[in-house]
Amino acid sequence: MQNLVDRVAAHIKAKFLAESSGHDWHHINRVWQLSRQIAAQEGANGEIAELGALVHDIADWKFHDGDDSVGPREAELLLRREGASAEVIAAVVDIVATISYKGAGVTTAMQTLEGQCVQDADRLDAIGAIGIARCFAYGGHAGRLMHDPDEAPVLHQTAAAYKASKGASLNHFYEKLLLLKDRMNTATGRALAEPRHQFMADFVKQFLAEWNVVA
């Protein structure tokens, strides 16, 4: 018989395998594996971290009209159906409820070490080569321009302003992605973020050099 983590993983894989916005099963699986790695290094509860990673995008607000309550609710229903204890459910639902980035000026502090591990893992998958690909994949999915030189990035000071933003994909690097390195929670997360951040910063520099062609 499969254990709880494997049962939840099977459900999430079936649900998200064909998703095409960059929030697919492969993203979730990478966050799962990174969470497992970080939790082991940081001494966190592995089961809580793994379950949190698996359900962290079960109903992202971006696909539910900005509603933050859908994800925690769906995570609780799935875990309850799979027989998780009340303590496990509470810990995992708290991760789902608080993990998301909500703007440059908004603090999204995780209350537990397990939550910190999962948030770091999710943010690691938002930067580096994979993060670049996911940024433009989501931008295309949402009908965003790649770049608009006349549109300045905005460091959103509220969650409402961040959710309402429809800016070009390149602005997302300045508004979120390039800020994540310094917002990692754990020593392991910070170490893993460094080379990914540098790769991404180099990409933005090269992108702009190629964009600004002068005859």
67-99, pLDDT tens digit by residue? 778 889 999 999 999 999 999 999 999 999 999
**3-state DSSP call for residue 13?**
helix
**Quick one: what percent of the chain has pLDDT higher than 90?**
80
| CATH code of 112's domain | 1.10.3210.50
Cβ(19)–Cβ(11) below 8 Å: no
Task: Please tell me the total count of domains within the chain.
Answer: 1
Question: Which tokens go with 81?
Answer: 């159906």
Confidence of residue 64 (pLDDT cuts 50, 70, 90): low
Please count the CA atoms within 13 angstroms of the CA of 159 that sit on its side-chain side: 12
CB-CB contact of 93 with 76 (8 Å): yes
pLDDT of residue 18 exceeding 90, the answer is: no
Which helix (H) or strand (E) covers residue 68, if one does? none
Its domain, for residue 191, covers 4-211
Residue 194 has pLDDT above 70, yes or no: yes
